[in-house]
Amino acid sequence: MRKAGLVSLRRRSLLIVLVGAVLLAGGVVAVGQTSAQTAQASVYESSAFGFRVDLPAGWRRSDRLSGLMPQSAVLEGQEVFTMRSVADEAKAIEDTEFLMPAFAYTVVVEVYRNPARSSSSQFVAAGIAGKRQGQRAAAATVDGTPGVRVDGGSRYKVSYYVARGPRIYQISYVTANEDAWRPPGADEAALQSILGSLRWVN
């Protein structure tokens, strides 16, 4: 009885070890996939809107949240940069209809049509991209082009507005109110570095 019990215990232990090994292996594979997706820093160039940004390791352009908007008389389109994996982003988008949590810790470049060639400060004053009580505006430059920086405005923690030809660029990042929405590994330093890396390419 005692021997049989020991054999049974050994088999059970072996089974547990095997299950554990499979779980650990699964975890390693999953980590490996994530690493493969995000291990390299990269440069993204927007041919549609004429700028490029440096994306730190782990960051990518969101194909799902970026796009052209030919049907809009106001907005030409937007480019969104995220640290979320495609699957995590899909989960964040699922079951929501407004901004969060999908846009938490993203860099967003919105490009507005500006046929009247308004200045960036006129654009900010008009409030087309929104206004928030207590927002602060100050002169700033983006890759040598003068513009306006707005802190604590609508939707975003920081936005730079720059007028270039028939376009107004709003280059922004947004954090989140709740820690639960922070994508793993995302931090404000990365958001700031992406904003700071923006260069015009034409």
Q: How many residues bind other proteins (CB under 8 A)?
A: 60
User: Could you give the C-alpha distances from 52 to 15, 24, 159, 160, in angstroms and in order?
Assistant: 53, 39, 17, 15
Half-sphere exposure of residue 117, counting CA atoms within 13 Å on the CB side? 1
- Residue with Cβ nearer other proteins (61 or 199): 61
* Nearest-angstrom CA–CA distance, 27 and 16: 16
Which H or E run includes 13? Answer: helix 2-38
End-to-end CA distance of the chain: 83
Contact flag: residue 19 with other proteins (CB under 8 A): yes
Contact flag: residue 72 with other proteins (CB under 8 A): yes
Contact flag: residue 125 with other proteins (CB under 8 A): no
Judged by CB under 8 A, the residue of 37, 40, 96, 141 near other proteins is 96
**Residues near other proteins (CB under 8 A):** 13, 16-17, 19-21, 23-24, 27, 30-31, 34, 64-67, 69, 71-75, 78, 80, 93, 95-104, 108, 110, 126-134, 151-152, 154-155, 157-158, 174-178, 180-181, 184
